[in-house]
Each structure stands twice: as C-alpha cells, then as structure tokens.
Amino acid sequence: MQISSRFTIAIHIFACMETFGKDYKITSDFLASSIQVNPVIIRNILSQLRKAGLIKVARGTGGTTALRPLDQITFYDVYLAVDLLEGGELFHFHENPNPDCPVGKNIHASLDDKLMQIQRAMENQMKQYSIADVVNDVKQYIVNAK
C-alpha cells in the first residue's frame, strides 16, 4: 500500500505558490523545476486540484493561486483531490481468495472492517494538518538555513 507521489507533489505545489507567488508567475514549468518532474505531471495534478476547487489556474498568461486560505486546506482535501482511490478504499484486496480454503473463504470477513478502521483513522489524522502548517515549516527552514 502506498499513497502516490501526487499527494506530496500537490503539497509541494501549494508551498511553492505561497513562497514564490508574489515574485514569480506560478506555472507548470516553474513548479516542475522545483519538484523536478515533467511539467505534464504538474499540469495533471493542477487539473485535479482545480477540479476539486482548491486552486485557480489562469490560462494563457499563466499563474496558479489557492482559492481558500491555506489554513483551510487540509491534507485530507489534497488527498481526496489527487489520490484516486479505487471505490473509495485505500487498501486493494487481492482478487480471488480460494473459497474452498478456510482462510481464503473468511479473509474478507476478518480484514474488511479492520482495514476500513485504519483508513478512517488515517483520514481523520490528515484532517488535522493544513497546507499552512507545511508552508510555515518550510519558511522556518528557509530562515534557519540563512
């Protein structure tokens, strides 16, 4: 199990928008240079964030801005926007456990509820952190590095 890198890339995007937005136009090329991924990946993630109502992307002249204050955008909001979960479930169950095996026959009944509780706990924890928390930390690291 692993949440895709789209999640951390999206948070990196927000940190760049806040850190550099007053001095630079925040374009996919600009973001790609900080994140060191292909600008196409950035554009795809920006599109997901835009569809989720988290950012505004200016066409033509370029530029990206958050649509809400960063302390009102949680990790959970970003996770929902960019990590497309199959059927809304974090854990993907193996397809065909053997119904003739006593373990295979009962593994779903044994695991399903536990895995959903783990997912809910993780999602509730994600709701405790905002993009502002990361931006504030990044700014502090920048100041301390000088």
Domain positions in the chain are: 5-139
* pLDDT computed for residue 134 by the predictor: 97
Q: What does the pLDDT read at residue 94? A: 81
pLDDT of residue 39: 94
Predicted TM-score (pTM) of this structure: 0.87
Angle at which helices 75-82 and 39-51 pack, to 10 degrees?
A: 110
Fold of 5-139: Arc Repressor Mutant, subunit A (1.10.10)
How far, in whole angstroms, is CA 102 from its chain's centroid? 39
pLDDT at position 8: 94
Q: What is the pLDDT of residue 86?
A: 66
For 31, 34, 46, the CA distances from 127, given in Å and listed in that order, are: 25, 26, 21
Mean pLDDT per segment of 10 residues, for the chain of length 146 residues? Answer: 83 96 92 95 96 90 89 96 78 86 93 93 96 96 88
